[in-house]
C-alpha cells in the first residue's frame, strides 16, 4: 500500500497522461487537416508515448495493490491559427507535466517513499527529454517553417519518426 496523498497524485497522473495523449492526438488531427502529414505522424507517435506513460502509472498503482477509479478525460481546448501554434502549446504542456511529476516526487520525498521516488526517476529524466524535443520542434519550425521547400523537407523528416516502447518496464 502507498500513502493516500501520493496515491491520489499518482491516480490523477494517469488522467493527465491520457489528456496529454488526447491533446497530441488533437495536434496530429490538426496537422493532417492542413496537409502536414509528417507533423501529424510525429504527434500521433507522441500520443502513443503518452498513453504508455498513463499505463505505467496504472500498473505501478496496481502492483502496489491500490484500487484505481478512472476519471473522465478533458476535451482538448486549443485553437490553432498557424502550424507553429501546437508547437508552442506542446512546450507549455510539457513544462506543466514536469511540474506535476515534480509535485508527486516531492510528496514521495517528504514521507520517504523511496519506492515511488525510484519509479518516478524515469519520468523525471523523460520530462527533460520531452521538454528538449518540444523546444527543438520550435527551433526547427523557426528555421524552416517560413519557406515552403524547407517546410516540406522538415515535414518529410518528421514523417520518419517511428514508435518505440518506453525503456521503463514494470514487472
Question: For residue 94, with 0-12 CB atoms within 10 Å meaning exposed, 13-18 middle and 19 or more buried, which class applies?
Answer: buried
Least distance to Fe ion from the beta carbon of 21, Å? 8
* 36/47 with CB nearer Fe ion: 47
Q: How far is the CB of 17 from Fe ion (least distance, A)?
A: 5
Q: For residue 62, give the C-alpha cell.
A: 496496481
Minimum distance from residue 101 beta carbon to Fe ion (Å): 8
CA distance 24 to 161: 15
**Residue 93 touches Fe ion, criterion: CB under 5 A:** no
53 is a contact residue toward Fe ion (CB under 5 A): yes
CA 23 to centroid of chain Cα atoms: 9
Nearest CA-CA partner of 154 in 166, 165, 163, 145: 145
Number of residues that bind Fe ion (CB under 5 A): 4
Nearer to Fe ion, 53 or 87 (CB): 53
Smallest distance from Fe ion to CB 133, Å: 7
Query: Which stretch, 25-33, 41-49, 58-66, 85-93, contacts Fe ion (CB under 5 A)?
Result: 41-49
Cβ neighbors of 147 (< 8 A, separation 6 or more) are none
Binding residues for Fe ion (CB under 5 A): 17, 49-50, 53
Amino acid at each position: 500500500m502507498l500513502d493516500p496523498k501520493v496515491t491520489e497524485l499518482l491516480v490523477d497522473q494517469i488522467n493527465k497522461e491520457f489528456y496529454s495523449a488526447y491533446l497530441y492526438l488533437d495536434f496530429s488531427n490538426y496537422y493532417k487537416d492542413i496537409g502536414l502529414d509528417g507533423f501529424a505522424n510525429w504527434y500521433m507517435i507522441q500520443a502513443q508515448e503518452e498513453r504508455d506513460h498513463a499505463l505505467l502509472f496504472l500498473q505501478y498503482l496496481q502492483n502496489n495493490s491500490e484500487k484505481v477509479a478512472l476519471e473522465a478525460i478533458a476535451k482538448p481546448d486549443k485553437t490553432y491559427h498557424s502550424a507553429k501554434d501546437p508547437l508552442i502549446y506542446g512546450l507549455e504542456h510539457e513544462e506543466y507535466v514536469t511540474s506535476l511529476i515534480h509535485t508527486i516526487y516531492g510528496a514521495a520525498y517528504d514521507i520517504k517513499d523511496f519506492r515511488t521516488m525510484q519509479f518516478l526517476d524515469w519520468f523525471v529524466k523523460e520530462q527533460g527529454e520531452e521538454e528538449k524535443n518540444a523546444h527543438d520542434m520550435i527551433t526547427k519550425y523557426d528555421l524552416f517553417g517560413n519557406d515552403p521547400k524547407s517546410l516540406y523537407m522538415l515535414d518529410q523528416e518528421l514523417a520518419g519518426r517511428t514508435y518505440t516502447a518506453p525503456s521503463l518496464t514494470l514487472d
